[in-house]
Amino acid sequence: GAGALGEAEMQSRSKMDAYEPDGAEKWDEYMRVTEAFLDCGLPNFIEERLDVASFPSFLRESLKDGGKFWPLKPHSDILEALFSSTKMRALASFQDLYVGLQPYRNDRKIAGGVMGKTAPAVFGLLAALELHPTNEKCGVYAPIGGFRAVGEAMQKLAKASGVVIQCGRAVTEVTSDGVYFVPSEVDKSKNDIKADFLPADLVVVNADLPFATETLISKGRKGRDAGQSEEKYDWDDKFDFSSGVVAFHWSISKQLENLNTHNVFLSVGSNAAARE
């Protein structure tokens, strides 16, 4: 109920103040700034729907204090200007990883890296989208039936559209004409495994670009070498990789009463620092 939410919010704010002086007040300021980014950015740039009324607040927050929160700065610039605690900075920026970016300025790159893998400060709108306490656009939602229901619904829609889904297959090579594949449980110690070929007009590869380029895209092999399953490695210094996330999907046989639907755990450096 409202009382429980109020108590949880009070506990969170107390924890912020423990991380650094006036931590909760600084967080409120960050939410005001990122809410302005969200209210302007969502309709005008994401939905591509002109919303003139959202610009005054956006410009005011972006330009105040000499452009302290200018949205095209590296995200870490405004975090360091506002927060002294590494945990508060992490709380304000971990959402950058959702889009394969990281918040840190890279002085070896133009504009601190915002043209590459460094998230510009405007990506703070993701924090507002997830954590703002009152904005009507914000919130974390979970699908009825769990996230498995999402995959099952997509599978149902695909099959209804005539899609044939093949499970237990591992793609070994992508060509301009289709893909080679082998059973995913294939014995990799054997070097003469025959790959099957599936012709296609268009192939969509849902893998990190450097990995796909180095391990899956056709190298023009001919004859029995085409599509041959072999040990491959996903490292190539010629490419920039997306920033990584380690995700654990746990199946638990009991209810965890002490956890909410959405929880954020912050740790830094060492186990000792994480226990602070």
pLDDT in tens, the chain (276 residues): 344 457 878 988 999 999 999 999 999 999 999 999 999 998 998 888 999 999 999 999 999 999 999 999 999 999 999 999 999 999 999 889 888 888 999 999 999 999 988 999 999 999 998 888 888 888 878 888 888 899 999 999 999 999 999 988 888 899 989 999 988 776 655 666 788 899 999 999 988 777 788 788 876 655 445 555 555 555 555 666 666 667 787 888 888 888 877 777 776 654 445 334
Q: What is the dihedral of CA 102, 106, 111, 115, to 10 degrees?
A: -40
Tell me the whole-structure pTM to 2 decimals.
0.68
What is the rounded end-to-end Cα distance, in angstroms, of the chain? 30
DSSP, collapsed to helix, strand or coil, labels residue 169 as strand
> What is the C-alpha to C-alpha distance for residues 123 and 37, in angstroms, rounded to an integer?
8
> What is the C-alpha to C-alpha distance for residues 128 and 51, in angstroms, rounded to an integer?
19
CA–centroid distance for 4 within its chain: 30
Amino acid 82 reads L
Token pair of 84 as six digits: 């002294």
> What is the C-alpha to C-alpha distance for residues 154 and 103, in angstroms, rounded to an integer?
32
| CB atoms near residue 143 (< 10 Å) | 10
β-bridge mates for residue 170, sequence order: 182
Kindly give, in sequence order, each residue whose CB lies less than 8 Å from that of residue 205, ignoring residues fewer than 6 positions away: 174, 212, 216
Asked if residue 216 lies in contact with residue 174, where contact means CB atoms within 8 angstroms, the answer is yes
The DSSP code for 70 is: -
The DSSP code for 212 is: H
Tell me which residue has tokens 């180095």: 214
Token pair of 240 as six digits: 């920039």
